[in-house]
Structure 1
Amino acid sequence: MTTYDTFASIAGHTFIVTGGNTGIGAEICRFVGRNEGNVVIDWVDREENNQPLIDEITAAGGRAVAVRADVTKVDELQSLVDAAVEHFGRLDVMVNNAGLETRKSLLDSDERDFDLTMNVNLKGAYFGTQLAARQFIKQAQAGGVPGGLVVNMSSVHEDWPMPGNHAYCVSKGGMRMLTRNAAVELAPHRIRVVGIAPGAVATPMNTESLGWEEAERALKKEIPLERVATPGEIAALVMFLASSGGTYITATTLTVDGGITQESSGL
């Protein structure tokens, strides 16, 4: 299987990746490095991952800085934008990747479960989009290149129900409309907003969990391509969107699921 990770036109571009030191987020950061870009790596815990990841990005020809920021707090999200400008001079791409699941049904969820899921998954993306857009506009007004890109890391469950994971699905449904509405509002500023909806992905969170091998075997029977995605396949799509190849894509969600949602819908 080939994963394409070279997109020359993003060299020198500055990315913010929330939840950037693990899973899909870390792989996006690695791809930025391989493409000689700059990246602000947002993290909340697992600090031990930061320096090896920074070293890897630097060795590949990129530049990186890690900033601790809780995406549920607007002032801390602003600190990520400030770090991008301070260290690299500008911001080009905001990747709202941070997310979590509480794995509770509607009947079993409590207020804490709901608030935590919404705050991380939806509030973080909402204000991440807002603050990035304000910076893009500020840069254009100062004579810089107009525009910018926001990527919202959603899920197939923005459309596809998942009983037993209720608040997560609701948060991703909200992200679907955030992406579309923000893209239409921001289009006059040449700012694009695009969602990515992965299906099953072999992230460390999944592969290190109890029962993953059994779950993967079951998933392969349901997925037309008969395998789960790698984090690199999601990261490569982010790079494409940020490159010269993705400049006419906005106000939509790109589904990356090996065909499972179509198989399950009976199409």
Structure 2
Amino acid sequence: MSRARSLSRPAAIARHALLLATGAVMLAPFIWMASLSVKPPGEIFRASFSLLPQQWYALENYGKAVTVAPLLRYMANGALVCTAILALQILVCAPCAYALAKMEFRGRGLLFGLVLTGLLLPHQVLALPLFILCYSLGILNSYAALILPFAVSPFGIFLFRQFFKTIPDDIVHAARLDGLSELAIVWRIMLPMAMPAVIAFSIFSVVAHWNDLFWPLIAVKSPNLMPPALGVAIFRGAEAGSDHGPLMAGAVLVVLPLLIAFVAAQRWFIEGLTSASLK
């Protein structure tokens, strides 16, 4: 026992050192972004390295980021779009996942294979047919163009199916004996029990669509409809120009809600992913 512990201790130290180094590499751009957001223009491109500024310029940079461009409007658009997309995805994905996990019908394996095929297709591949569809429906340059193409998520169906399969079939049989319909079982029993998976999927969905630049760049052109990523790009090109302090301040404000949401839901996020991976 003592020999096994002595052998595993260096491995654990090496493993944690590797994780710390990887985490530092991933966090370095965000820390540098936050540092630049509180520096005056003269210190941003200074040759000597300094994480903290000699002269704090936070009020000026963040004030310019909020007032010069409608950054708060962009963030409000992002909140509206992400909330609507997430609601539609749960509304569609949960019953589909329940049918694939707990119901017996012909072609179930084929449908699940199509879901897995959907996971392999990047969204950019479907951009042209989606653009033509939105043009035919007359919904381009509207919130509907930002929301409806993402109403169905193959990843959401897959994640919910994997979690639903961990729920004992006896619970479903008992609910049917009590007279509940299949949809009632989904919303009143399965989904509350799968709340860790719902939270994990919510974080994935919100982060993906909050940071999405490709599709909004195609679907909308009105500044009043732009989500955060596209708004920051427009802010960089039109208002901020080469003034990197306000630009970094705007980027910090856009990233901050996602960081807070992830930290608040971290435990459920990890639980949702690990529980779904058991099946």
Work out whether the TM-score is over 0.5.
no
Structure of higher RCO (CA pairs closer than 8 Å, 6+ residues apart) = 2
Relative to total residues, which structure has the larger strand share, 1 or 2?
A: 1
Bigger CA radius of gyration: 2
Give the number of the structure whose residues are more often helix, by fraction: 2
